[in-house]
Amino acid sequence: MATAVAPTKVAVKEKPKTFAYSSDDIKRMLPHRWPMLMIDRAYDVVPGVSGRGIKSVSVNEPFFAGHYPDHSIMPGVMIVEAMAQLVAVVYVAELLEAPAPAEGDPSSSVGYLGSISSMKFSRLVVPGDQLTLEAKLGQKLGGLRSVSVRASVGTELAAAGSLIVTTGRKG
């Protein structure tokens, strides 16, 4: 005699909704402007959780005039700044995409870079490269948030490390 086996329910984890932001969207999200606006596009953004972005590196960037002028390389601090700006987009997206979005200027909620840890640079970034940026927000520590960041060119890792950012501005 055969016994009937009840079908088992398999928990399927729903993929979170992602968003993409153009350069014009990013200008509305961040307080930065040229020449300090460092990201061109953001995509796969899970608000408040993670995201990816693009920084197209052009020989016309003002820092190339004085940073190794005969051998153009993007300064590491500018790579870190681009990653930090992606973090801000992920953070602001949480406010914009909420069921009841916050009123006012979303860029006013962008905080500051508080700490850079274990940052390792493993490839030079030069004009013509396209940096793919990744950010994954970690735990909140009061008014601070830890973040894991990466930057690559194609399949080659250019930089990776951890940041601490403030979750708001004061003063």
Mean pLDDT of the chain: 91
Q: CB-based contacts of 9: which residues, under 8 Å, 6+ apart?
A: none
Give the model's pLDDT for residue 23.
97
Give the model's pLDDT for residue 52.
98
Q: Nearest CA to 75 among 133, 128, 124, 115?
A: 124
pLDDT tens per residue, range 53-78: 999 999 999 999 998 889 999 999 99
Using a pLDDT cut of 70, give the percent of the chain over it: 92
Find the range with the poorest average confidence among 29-38, 76-85, 95-104.
95-104
Residues forming the active site: 67
Residue type present at position 84: A
105 three-class SS: coil
Q: Rounded CA gap, 72 and 63, in Å?
A: 9
3 three-class SS: coil
Q: CB-based contacts of 131: which residues, under 8 Å, 6+ apart?
A: 54, 55, 56, 57, 79, 82, 125, 151, 152, 153, 158
Q: What are phi and psi of 125, to 5 degrees?
A: -110, 125
Rg (CA), the chain: 19
Give the model's pLDDT for residue 22.
98
CB-based contact 159:102 (threshold 8 Å): no
Give the model's pLDDT for residue 19.
97
Q: What is the pTM of this model?
A: 0.89
pLDDT tens per residue, range 95-127: 999 888 778 888 888 999 999 999 999 999 999
